[in-house]
Amino acid sequence: MKKTVSDKLNSNIKLVSWINSKGQKQLSYYLKYTFNNQRRNMKIGNSATPIQVIRKIGAEIEAKMLLDPNYDPLAKKEIAKSPTINDAFAKYKNQLNLNKRKTTTEIIRQYEKDIAPSFGEMKVKEISRGIIKEWFDNLSMRSKYTANSCLRILKTTLEIAIDYEYLESNPANRIKKHPEVKRERFYTQEEKISIFQELFKRLDEDKSLLHSVSFILLLIFTGARKGELAKATWSDYKGDYLEIKEHKTDDKTNKPRKIWLNAQSRAVIQTLQGEKRLKTILGIKNPKRLWNSVKLACKCNDLRMHDLRHSFGTISANSAKIQTLETGELMGHKSLDIMKRYQHIEDRTSKVNIEKIGEEILDGVNFPITYQ
């Protein structure tokens, strides 16, 4: 059954709510008006549209009807619309695909999740700084980093709208992002031992966790990015290293990424040899569920999976005494490309270095028989 409530400032604007067949609550805004003695309802927004925008749309339609008695908002001849934010983002998406940006999928995901519900159907010319600021503040309550990232995407979308002459100026330009402090979180020696013990205990209790445990161990021992390991196939396995053709920096270096494997990493991969029927070495995309459970049990809930990579770099530099450039080579940092022109890191150097780091990481840890 539908329930209708009138807006406090404009009684012609109605908020209609109902429960759909899936049991989900639905909300839509309608403008009620009369044309040629017929009462009509025109949908002007949904629950994601700010009420200020709803009222503005309603007021503009009513003003047009007062000025022109023959104006019917629902008439087909008036359906033609000016470009929406979705139209502008479609242009942005085309540019991302044209430039083969590695972040395209993530940008689209963030737009569809946090931007499109509020602005997608809004006309580009109707968006204002005040509306964007209110949306930004609301999103910031959930996550300041997400709000910053989405604001960057919206700003770029509006810049593209200017390029196509949909808009004259960017209303998002003067909205300040939150200060972003780079994380410096690494596991301590105690946390490291606790994490290993928890992983091995769970694997001993439940062998079905082999792939998830192995994924986390490779993150710890190689310093590789999660996405790189998730994509690794058996044909990428070269014994001493994994050779990944599609990776985060291939648009910069145009070279395959070598993930060097120490004895511990090789032991983990060899344990998975019986799973070659799977398309990838690890067989899963993300061990997030296990990791969240393990770090909670180890009382290091603020330690992200990506912090395992940070910890690898720290151990390399501080404990294994490996030079910064050589550590960057192991971790696949693109920012070292210019320096590499003047100093070539030989494969044998990387092989020796990765073994040093593996020994340092394993300090104080008893490797289980499963991986021996």
Among 276, 279, 192, 280, residue whose Cα is nearest residue 230: 280
Model pLDDT for residues 85-128, shown as the tens digit of each residue: 999 999 999 999 888 777 888 999 999 999 999 999 999 988 99
pLDDT of residue 279: 84
pLDDT tier for residue 79 given thresholds of 50, 70 and 90: very low
Q: What tokens were used for 92?
A: 């942005």
pLDDT of residue 370: 74
End-to-end CA distance of the chain: 64
pLDDT of residue 338: 42
Instruction: Enumerate the H helices of the chain as residue ranges.
Output: 51-67, 85-98, 104-110, 116-119, 129-142, 144-163, 189-205, 210-222, 226-231, 250-253, 263-271, 288-297, 307-318, 324-331, 337-340, 347-361
Residue 250 predicted with pLDDT over 60: no
- What are the CA-CA distances from residue 284 to residues 110, 225, 227, 294 (Å)? 23, 14, 11, 18
Q: Taking the model in full, what pTM does it have?
A: 0.59
Model pLDDT for residues 14-68, shown as the tens digit of each residue: 999 988 766 788 889 999 998 888 888 888 888 888 999 999 999 999 999 999 8
Return the higher-pLDDT residue of 251 and 199: 199
Q: Is 29 left (phi over 0), alpha (psi -120 to 50) or beta?
A: beta
Tokens 């530099």, residue located: 317
pLDDT tier for residue 288 given thresholds of 50, 70 and 90: very high
Q: What is the mean pLDDT of residues 202-206?
A: 94
Model pLDDT for residues 161-178, shown as the tens digit of each residue: 988 888 888 999 989 999
* CATH of the structural domain 189-371, one choice from 3.90.550.10, 1.10.443.10, 2.60.40.420, 3.90.1330.10: 1.10.443.10
Alpha-carbon distance 317 to 303, whole Å? 20
CATH number for the domain whose boundaries are 3-78? 3.30.160
pLDDT of residue 129: 94
Q: What is the mean pLDDT of residues 199-223?
A: 94
Q: Which of 194-198, 238-242, 283-287, 326-330 has the lowest mean pLDDT?
A: 326-330
Residue 355 predicted with pLDDT over 80: yes
Is 256 within 8 Å of 245 (Cβ atoms)?
yes
Model pLDDT for residues 334-346, shown as the tens digit of each residue: 665 544 443 445 6
Return the higher-pLDDT residue of 4 and 182: 4
Among 168, 167, 171, residue whose Cα is nearest residue 151: 171
Q: What tokens were used for 300?
A: 């290091």
- Listing DSSP states for 206-274 in one string gives -GGGHHHHHHHHHHHHH---HHHHHH-BGGGB-SSEEEESS-TTHHHH-SPEEEE--HHHHHHHHHTGG
Among 311, 333, 334, residue whose Cα is nearest residue 184: 311
Taking only Cα atoms into account, the Rg of the chain, rounded to an integer number of angstroms, comes to 28
